[in-house]
A and B are shown apart, each in its own frame.
Chain A
Amino acid sequence: QKEVEQDPGPLSVPEGAIVSLNCTYSNSAFQYFMWYRQYSRKGPELLMYTYSSGNKEDGRFTAQVDKSSKYISLFIRDSQPSDSATYLCATYVTGGFKTIFGAGTRLFVKA
């Protein structure tokens, strides 16, 4: 079983739509959950991170973690063409140094 699973998409939405991106994970020891955005041929850029279960909001972005179902989500409100990128969920075991990434979901927002 893969540690972090993420649907690679692609996901295509019209400008202004609400986008929902999701991942599942297998290891209950994971405590921190991150979302990175990656533009083509660039390094990942941290968007948000959450600790344990719950929601965290930052502008148009909301990250949600449900530890009971091992499910993490990123919601993007009022999506813009500039949001077109690959979104990577990630996690690690507290005290460790290795970040484990999902495969990434490619998002296209059409103007």
Chain B
Amino acid sequence: EPEVTQTPSHQVTQMGQEVILRCVPISNHLYFYWYRQILGQKVEFLVSFYNNEISEKSEIFDDQFSVERPDGSNFTLKIRSTKLEDSAMYFCASSSGTGTEKLFFGSGTQLSVL
């Protein structure tokens, strides 16, 4: 069964460093998303991406964050200068159509900022 793949599963970084989280969405999907979940809190929307541009972003997704689809298979989230409060589980998701009622999530990258 096709699945969303995320690497690495764990990432430890120092405050102020740049990190890139990587995702391979399901191959025939067209819409791509990043969500995050701080320990013990809700899953929160960060950004959606379609046709090589951001379609919607949350107030969390400030200038420190960027997304890119560098080739036909990868989808990345970059945090330019990490803060302690960026520590969270980051989930990539994809969907096939315009309706976001059917999101397929990866297993996540646990980001720890020290």
Contacts and interface: CB of A to CB of B under 8 A. Distances in A.
Interface in A63-111: 88, 92, 96-104
Q: Chain B at the A interface: mostly helix, strand, loop or mixed?
A: strand
Contact of B42 (A34, A46, A103): A103
B25 interface: no
A44 B56 contact: no
Contacts of A101: 42-44
Given A42-B107, A43-B108, A49-B102, A98 B56 contact: yes
Interface in A19-43: 32, 34, 38, 41-43
B105 A97 contact: no
A97 B100 contact: yes
Nearest to A100: B45
Nearest to A88: B43
B105 A99 contact: no
Interface residues of B, number: 28
B73 to A, nearest CB: 19
Contacts of A96: 56, 100
Given A98-B45, A98-B48, A98-B56, A45 B105 contact: yes
Contacts of B89: 41
A102 B43 CA distance: 8
Contacts of A100: 45
Contacts of A42: 107-108
Nearest to A45: B105
Contacts of A51: 101
B35 to A, nearest CB: 8
A24 B15 CA distance: 38
Interface of A: 32, 34, 38, 41-46, 49, 51, 88, 92, 96-104
9 contacts: A41-B89, A44-B105, A46-B102, A88-B43, A97-B31, A99-B100, A101-B42, A103-B42, A104-B42
